[in-house]
A and B are shown apart, each in its own frame.
Chain A
Amino acid sequence: MASKSRRDQMVDMAVLAPLDWVDERTGAVRGTKWFLFRNVPRDISWMQTLGSAALTAFIVQTLTGAILAMYYKPSSEIDPITGKPLAYSSIEAITNDITLGWLVRGMHRWGASVFIILLFLHMGRVFLFGAYKYPRELTWITGVLILVMGMLMGFTGYLLPWDQTAYWATVVGINLNGTAPFAGPWLAQFLAGGAEIGADTLPKWYALHMLLIPGALIALIGVHIYLVTRLGVSSPPWSNEAAGRERSAAQPSSGARSGLVRGSGGD
């Protein structure tokens, strides 16, 4: 104790003691260590970072979406100034008038495609590596649900610009749902909020797009990442290391890449 330098004591006081205080009451520091400082197989590659990439794309979508929601008006009523529907006018304003609005909208619009593409690449990696096998079956199943939710985000978000493409593509999309046996006509009428797209449809889809589906999506991603953290990253199929082998606790980092994999969603 006495051998501690003055600098160490100051670090103790300023950083470690408050952290200890928090950790003793919440377990947050231990939890963060459990989440971030995990051992990963020696022979992982960039392939295992696709999940993290998809998560990053999702975070970009939530942030840009929250900002867009500050300026977007989900109403089909005619704007008396522009003579166009409010929704379309607000999209025009975001794109042309509001400072850097074009950038945020562009990020959200193209980021949606990036998110879906990364989901598919990630799914392909997991499938080809056999990483969905025991004990990671539930990780795969939650991942499939995340994919479905991502598709629904695309479907509901496509209507919001309220232009001709959006309108008729959604008419076709709703009626495609309508052709499902038995429940189809009911589903179509629920989605359209009536026999046809009407004044209530746009607010309904807006609520689905930015409240209901994202809520489900965030919950599913939480479960998915928890499972990844709990079960660890699987070795690639060509790995020489036996599956399920106990890994030594003190494994040297294999560089920046392992940091990315550790981050989250690496599997």
Chain B
Amino acid sequence: MSDLGHDTPHVPGPSLWPIAFAVGVACLLLGLVISWVVAAVGAVLAIVFGFLWARDVTRDVRADVPAIEPESRSVADQASVAATPTPTAAAPLPAYTRSRFLEASTLGVGAAIGAIVTLPVLGFTVLPSFTNIDEDEADLGPLENFPEGEYVIASYLARPSAGEVSRRTAFVRNNGLAESGEPSFTILYSRCVHLGCPVQPNGPIDEDARKEIDGVELRPVLAQSFGCPCHGGLYDAEGNRQAGPPVRSLDRLTFSIRNGRLVLGELFAVGNVSGTGANATISRYPWSVPGTHVDGVEAWLYPIVPSQVTG
């Protein structure tokens, strides 16, 4: 086997399994988009034929290994013993020699030092993205600025300390009082749940009624739907997807009312909204990245989302 030398290519024998393996991988990738059943079938195909392929190409290598006497100091010692014959045979020395111990311990200690130095750095690289990212509540000002049954485009700083980079936009509609007598607001987050572009209300903006108070900009708009300029996603007045590529309804924000002022709370994902306004039933989920499903079979592809863990 090794007598072939280095002049000729060491090519494995022909095998058909790579084709079946490729079909399996293709099935797996397709399944990630279509359904997990196809993905599972693809995974099984890929594993089985990958194994067969590996077995095929390693056939030469796995041929019978010629038995070679392991080299050890005891052999050398026996040889020297044989050279100078003495009546007492030398006791066999352990094959695990001092040099091998030193080699292993050097590698081990080096790996340990490397890990001790690297792990905190890696942690610092990755973890800040997932911790201490709670956004402040945003005060949108007095309730009088939100006329009943009409959307207002509210632009505000989610983190005033971070500056303009944290400017966000929400569409706020005062629904009046719910059946329970509590005030009701529909607060849609402006980021498209397809890939995060800024959704625009489809309707005229009343620029004359524009107000700007403490860095919060409010512009009333006549809108019964919302559209995304990037890839044509379309949502109705409740944020449900009507057309285009979005995979769920528009994200929403919780709210509270303090001293007659509307205060925005945390962001959450919405699977679907049935009903309208104050009578709407909203299926709420922890917030996740745009483009990820929060309900249905596809949600299984995202078993743990960061906001479920880090809050």
Contact = CB atoms under 8 A, between A and B. Distances in A.
B287 A182 contact: no
Contacts of A176: 195, 291
A138 interface: no
Interface stretch (A45-53, A108-116, A167-175): A167-175
B31 to A, nearest CB: 10
Interface in B229-246: 230
Interface stretch (B71-79, B86-94, B128-136, B146-154): B128-136
Chain B interface helix/strand/loop/mixed: loop
B169 to A, nearest CB: 12
Given A78-B164, A194-B129, A182 B196 contact: no
B62 interface: no
Nearest to A178: B289
B120 interface: no
B7 interface: yes
Q: Which of A135, A179, A199, A244 has the most CB of B within 10 A?
A: A179
Q: Which of B165, B166, B197 has the most CB of A within 10 A?
A: B165
B14 interface: no
A198 B165 CA distance: 6
Contacts of A199: 162-163, 165-166
Q: Which of A134, A182, A184, A196 has the most CB of B within 10 A?
A: A196
B7 A244 contact: yes
Contacts of A198: 159, 162, 165-166
Interface residues of A, number: 34
Contacts of A192: 129
Nearest to B11: A134
Interface residues of B, number: 38
A188 interface: yes
A193 interface: yes
A181 B287 CA distance: 16
A176 B11 CA distance: 40
A197 interface: yes
A22 B18 CA distance: 52
B32 interface: yes
Contact of B302 (A77, A181, A196): A181
A171 B126 contact: no
Q: Which of A76, A175, A193 has the most CB of B within 10 A?
A: A175
Contacts of A77: 163
Interface string B113-131: 0000000000000101110
B306 interface: yes
B302 A190 contact: no
Contacts of B166: 198-199
A142 B165 CA distance: 38
B32 A181 contact: yes
A186 interface: yes
B291 A134 contact: no
Nearest to A204: B129
Given A134-B11, A185-B289, A175 B195 contact: yes
Interface in B1-26: 7-11
Contacts of A182: 301-303
A178 B305 CA distance: 10
Contacts of B9: 133-135
Contacts of B194: 175
Contacts of B191: 196
A76 B195 contact: no
Contacts of B195: 171-172, 175-176, 179
Contacts of A175: 194-196, 289-291
Contacts of B133: 194-195
17 contacts: A76-B163, A175-B195, A175-B289, A179-B292, A184-B292, A185-B302, A189-B129, A190-B129, A192-B129, A194-B133, A195-B267, A195-B287, A195-B307, A198-B159, A198-B165, A199-B166, A244-B7
Interface of A: 76-78, 85, 133-135, 168, 171-172, 174-176, 178-179, 181-182, 184-186, 188-190, 192-201, 244
Given A181-B301, A181-B302, A190-B126, 4 more contacts: A175-B291, A178-B289, A194-B129, A199-B165
The 5 closest A-B pairs by CB, nearest first: A178-B289, A179-B291, A181-B301, A134-B9, A76-B165
Interface of B: 7-11, 32, 126, 128-130, 133, 135, 159, 162-166, 191, 194-198, 230, 267, 287-292, 301-303, 305-307
